[in-house]
Structure 1
Amino acid sequence: MNKIPVYFMPGLAASTAIFERIKLPESEFEMFFLEWEIPNEKESLQEYAKRMTQKIVHENSVLIGVSFGGILVQEMAKFISTRKIIIISSVKSNLEFPKRMVLAKRTKAYKLLPVSLVQNIESLAKFSFGKKVNERLKLYEKFLSVRDRRYLDWAIEQVILWDRTDADPDVIHVHGDTDDVFPIKYIENCIVVSGGTHVMILNKYRWLNSNLPKIILGEKYV
């Protein structure tokens, strides 16, 4: 039996380490992991997406994207034939953005984001207090691997300025009901994961490992 190729795209600035707990049955699926590239000068999201499709070496693959990676795989699907597009902790159009992101676009406030903080996560640890904060910083240090200033400026702008207003009805959307980046109240037509946060790729991996194969194959999920 031919295995189904499944390509995973991490979230903004994240490394493929975020998928380390995701396991699909090896008898049916072959997993591939896409890394963020540094964008070219003045490269649009569509141009970037087209360039990223060169990394897809199988026909009719499944593309799974998390957060900004979910936005990217939807743009990639314009250029290649896919078996399925699955987005996790993401959005299907800019109509699902929370009000603060709409406001950021209107005021161009996103240009003021302190990207340098993401670039130097280690320095944040010096100013953090409490066990939980330090544990979260260790997570960030591990999973946020792309610190390039040009990439970060570009990525934040591409999210805020994403111009899609019509959701693709074929996109399968998996979303946590406690996501604080893209709150569930703005999201339509999704598979809701109870207790799922924006980083549920890490802490709801058991649900995902159990249900992603069924979702890919069009079977009933829990």
Structure 2
Amino acid sequence: MAADERVFKYVRLPEGYEIVHLTWIDPQKQESLASYAIRMAERIDTSQPFVLIGLSFGGMLVTEIAKRYPPVKTILIASIPLSAQLPGYFRVAAALRLHKVVPIGMVKTAARLKRYITNEKSEDKKLIWEIINSSDPAFIRWSMEAILTWKNEEMPQQVLHIHGTRDEVLPARYTKPTHIIPKAGHLMVMSQPDDVNRILHNALAI
């Protein structure tokens, strides 16, 4: 939820595209996911054609941006376009308001420990640990609330949805991807970038 542009280090787009990263901004008090997304979108140059790409939480954000500023294509990676596709245990957590009481330190520790059983390269595991350690607890707390209270029933137009069969955060069985990568987990952009890049090139070749 607090990963930055460093996780896209292996992503390569076809010639002719300029990559512009939308960095996180500070959320306002009790701000919704949709409201936050539109504020992020203020930095997009909509005077020329553009493509939106979002990973995980970022995919939910670009889904909301696409409703206000239609892109040429919306690309979701290890994400979901509809709030109804959140796993049932997310809704249970929301009903019990677990996101309000679970210590963020525990969330970070769990994320760090998970790297021992994931298949990223050693250097990438170190990078992910750095991202986890430097992430803002207040932002993580807000994003948990934003995801669990997100309501969206509108599917983006021209959507490309890449998902892995071993995504442990947002399991593929709860959503309907256009492209499936076998044995890929949630951070497939780092663990299986060649597969991701091949799909992106096929979809975006000018």
Q: Give the TM-score, by structure 2 length.
A: 0.85
Residue 73 (1) aligns with residue 80 (2): no
What is aligned with 2:40? 52
Q: Secondary structure at the match of 2:38?
A: helix
What is aligned with 2:202? 214
Structure 1 residues 68 and 41 mapped into 2: Cα distance closer, same or farther (>3 Å)?
same
Residue 108 (1) aligns with residue 97 (2): yes
What is aligned with 1:85? 74
What is aligned with 2:9? 20
In terms of Rg, which structure is larger? 1
Instruction: Report if aligned partners of 1:92, 1:167 keep a CA contact under 8 Å in 2.
Output: yes
What is aligned with 1:163? 151
Between the two proteins, the alignment pairs up a number of residues equal to 199
Residue 150 (1) aligns with residue 141 (2): no
Task: Give the structure with the higher percent strand.
Answer: 1
Percent same amino acid among aligned pairs?
29
Structure-1 separation of matches of 2:171 and 2:107: 22
Q: Give the TM-score, by structure 1 length.
A: 0.79
Pairwise CA distance, 1:78: 2.0
What is aligned with 2:24? 36
What pairs with 1:106-145 in structure 2 (closer than 5 Å)? 106-117=95-106, 138-144=126-132
Structure-2 separation of matches of 1:213 and 1:99: 34
Residue 96 (1) aligns with residue 96 (2): no
What is aligned with 2:173? 185
Structure-2 separation of matches of 1:186 and 1:28: 35
Instruction: Report if aligned partners of 1:70, 1:88 keep a CA contact under 8 Å in 2.
Output: yes
Letter in 2 for 1:174: I
Structure-2 separation of matches of 1:33 and 1:107: 35
Letter in 2 for 1:190: T
Pairwise CA distance, 1:160: 1.0
Task: Give the structure with the higher percent helix.
Answer: 2
Gaps of 5+ in 1: 1-11
Gaps of 5+ in 2: none
Instruction: Report if aligned partners of 1:91, 1:187 keep a CA contact under 8 Å in 2.
Output: yes
Aligned residue among 180, 189, 198 for 1:201: 189
Letter in 1 for 2:172: I
Letter in 2 for 1:38: D
Instruction: Report if aligned partners of 2:162, 2:177 keep a CA contact under 8 Å in 1.
Output: no
Letter in 1 for 2:82: S
